[in-house]
Structure 1
């Protein structure tokens, strides 16, 4: 008995032989330039009463084939759904029917025929003409088992979309979500802009960048890790409300919620603070959920989540006290903070201060408990180099992170507009880089110059679009909401 691989090779060989026969007979499908179709499958099904016994033309891929003798049934899949095609020899003609019998699952065809219902009440098309538009010389996964290997699904998304039609629905919903984010902001007077993806400084976030080289200038350049600093330059220039949605790139780890290339949106508004950014954050999320799903109450992987504003607020030190039992209001020195961190088993790195320890405590003990939407405020200055200090406690900043389902969904500040303070924050970040922190912020002298010109009080917000899409589409991984996620190349 031949093995599976041998069978596959035989099928592939047979398909190529069929293509050769078509070409030799002057029926090469690849020279056909177009096919004019009049309807999609869903339109025919939804309007059967009007279309019964009327001529239509459709185009799509053969997904199943059955019958024998003088009758063949195809299931044709177009961009919307499937519809059954009935091909009879006495309607098609004996010679043409002989070729049609050789068509394979995966072939792309155009069909002209009349709409009718079979004896089993299935809306179908009685073919009068079938044109082979593209010959598939590969093998689609077996229809009952589909494409189940997740790694292969991500690598061959084109096959995934063919054999798992529900995947297409996820990406249609993704596009709807993105459109609704833009609609929310556009209706509130925000201007969508474009800023550079390539830059000489990787700024706006604490992250490790991808490095490339510009040959003409003979300089290294960076793919952007954030678009924050350019957008704030536009506020300096006189725009009051701007946003940009686009790809960011971070040379970091990969897991179910991280991909090196991801979609983010950042927006900035003059003359407001981070409190207004909270209202915008919960407003965007609730609006997009309502417009895209029809509800602000979702179920994500078995967990009920209510996105309805207003969301809960909690200071970072308050959250640490609740979830770890450590009260940082009573810990005032770097030495005390480091000692308590060691007691709790946290990793201590060179140059860490009380503020760094607070951030480590929050990530270790708190994030995993933040399921319902919540704003965490009071971030330490050390981990917030672009945020204004809290006037009541200069160790903290006017910043928040929004969490849903334990994930950080949004990050926002009352933007630092003091150029003296900003320059010193960059200097402090450079010291962290010298101590080995590759994610610490680079010095951006032009940005300092920009806010020396004058940045008005400004609120800024960044939202992780992919994570929001994961939640609203109920998908387990970021790879399920990216059409082509980053994959390690297969060894040849």
Structure 2
């Protein structure tokens, strides 16, 4: 056992003893409720709550606050401590003469630890140093912690401020996000911004008149993207089901059913590798609008994300690492093959698979036997083009082999009307003029089935029910998917997808 583990175990035993002592004294260390009337931020933002020197306590608004004890400065019969609630921290002043000898000397001084949840009732005043503080008239233990909170300590050494015991190990922070949120307040800000980002997108689409819907997560036939699914089994129906990899095909069924615009914030699942840009469980929003095409959708995406940037940052400019990303529209639009030729010098448009393999070999791209034309082009694009696109850019007009659900290009042979928005070196959005020709769609699915038979496990399967829905008629439609996690990384200046997920997938601890 390490020294750290030994210390933690010892602390656990000490706190268990304190817990029992509280109970022996007749205290309830885990009461059922506590009425909270004010939060720290509200008190700090409202100086009218502060008691003036010439005011009687009875004339001052009383406050009731609750949260964790984060620091204590005991000075005999009185103590200052910091209380952390959901909105920040505020200082509390507590005196033996006000709360009683046993409450102060035993319950507070002896049996209360850093991290314990407590409730305070009293009034607000300002200390001699000008700090807004809650003057405690009542003290209540609300939850006795049995493990020490890893609170960092700042120490002055050789004229420098050094921090000790910081909860800074990234992997441990992801595994124990609850502690991360307690001791690293900036993490709360990240998730607050993520929530505001989603709400801004929802409000924008609602204002456009689109309907938010829900579609199945458990699906008998997975589809809507090229990915390997998670598989499960339904006992009552005795059938295999899949966690959805996308919700596209169900949302298009709703367009068939007569809706002009539907969207869904969905949890999707793809049985693939983990990286700082990939988590097996992720969030995206998909939107489908009848009678529109991918040109219209490009303008919509520009306006939507520009709106989000302004809502979160008050500007179209967002600082991301060393870059300033400007979401002001319009954004550049570059055809995919043109972008590849600009970066590699190779014109791949119209090339057969042997020519593509030769080009990939020249570019040191590793290929697998199962790779078709679309996969080879995608690998070249991902290696040579995508990482260089920092400012938001629309890459348009993809090869038909890469896009089995997109409409054929109205002018260019072998291409489809599709775009991806690339920003900060990664795709954040994908959109099509949706394929609504059921005969063409069946042929595309059958080609995907052939690729799957050749070993491509990410190729799509044939969805007969969806094909039947198309045969009942779907109007011209523009479809869009935006990766919420990746967009949140940009909007919150986060380096890893795990920084914007409360509980990212992790390998088991040894």
**Are 1:295 and 2:315 matched, yes or no?**
yes
**Alignment equivalent of 2:263, drawn from 226, 243, 253:** 243
Counterpart CA distance in 2 for 1:272 and 1:40 is: 48
| Post-superposition offset of 1:335 | 2.5
2:282–2:485 contact (8 Å) kept in structure 1: yes
Is the alpha carbon distance of 1:97 and 1:360 closer, same or farther for their aligned partners in structure 2, counting shifts above 3 Å?
Answer: closer
Q: 2:169 maps to which residue?
A: 149
Who is 1:279 aligned against? 299
How far off its partner does 1:142 sit?
3.0
CA contact (8 A) 1:48 1:115 kept: no
Name whichever of 96-105 and 3-12 sits farther off. Answer: 3-12
Q: CA deviation at 1:93?
A: 1.4
CA distance in 2, matches of 1:4, 1:402: 47
Give distance in 2, aligned partners of 1:56 and 1:159: 27
Counterpart of 1:69 (choices 66, 69, 76) is 76
Deviation at 1:352, TM superposition (A): 4.6
Q: Which residue does 2:6 correspond to in 1?
A: 6
List alignment gaps of at least 5 residues for structure 2: 52-56, 154-164
Aligned Cα root-mean-square deviation (Å): 1.5
Give 1:287 deviation, angstroms. 0.5
* 1:74, distance to aligned residue in structure 2 (A): 1.4
2:179 to 159, 162, 174: 159
Residues 9, 321 of structure 1: alpha-carbon distance in 2 compared, 3 angstrom cutoff: same
Q: How much has 1:466 moved relative to structure 2?
A: 0.8
* SS in structure 2 of the partner of residue 393 of structure 1: coil
Instruction: State the match for 1:364 in structure 2.
Output: 383
Q: Does 1:471 align with 2:490?
A: yes
Secondary structure (helix, strand or coil) at the match of 1:378 reads strand
Which one of the candidate residues 182, 199, 202 is aligned to 2:202?
A: 182
Deviation at 1:467, TM superposition (A): 0.6
Residue 4 (structure 1) shift: 4.3
TM-score with structure 2 setting the length: 0.93
| Whole-Å separation in 1 of the counterparts to 2:351 and 2:102 | 90
Whole-angstrom distance in 1 between the partners of 2:368 and 2:4: 54
Count of residue correspondences: 488
Map 1:175-254; keep pairs closer than 5 Å.
Answer: 175-254=195-274
Q: Deviations over 1:125-155 (max 9, x none)?
A: 1211100011011111032243111111111
Q: Normalising by the residue count of structure 1, what TM-score does the alignment of the two structures yield? A: 0.96
Partner of 1:34 in structure 2? 33
- Given that 1:256 and 1:479 are in contact with CA atoms closer than 8 Å, whether structure 2 keeps it comes out as yes
Greater CA deviation, 361-370 or 256-265? 361-370
Runs of 4+ deviating beyond 6 Å: none
Instruction: Write the deviation string for residues 226-256 of structure 1: whole angstroms up to 9, x where unpaired.
Output: 0000000011111011100121101111111
1:217: Cα distance to partner? 1.2
Q: CA deviation at 1:44?
A: 1.3
* Consecutive unaligned residues in structure 1, runs of 5 or more: none
Partner residue, 1:439: 458
1:67-93: per-residue Cα shift (whole Å, max 9, x none)?
Answer: 132112211111111111111111111
Correspondence 1:50-65 to 2 at 5 A: 50-52=49-51, 54=60, 55-65=62-72
Is 1:427 the equivalent of 2:478?
Answer: no
Quick check: 247-256 or 63-72, which moved more?
Answer: 63-72
Partner of 1:16: 16
> In the alignment, what sits opposite 1:452?
471
Pair 124,314 (structure 1): closer, same or farther in 2 beyond 3 Å: same
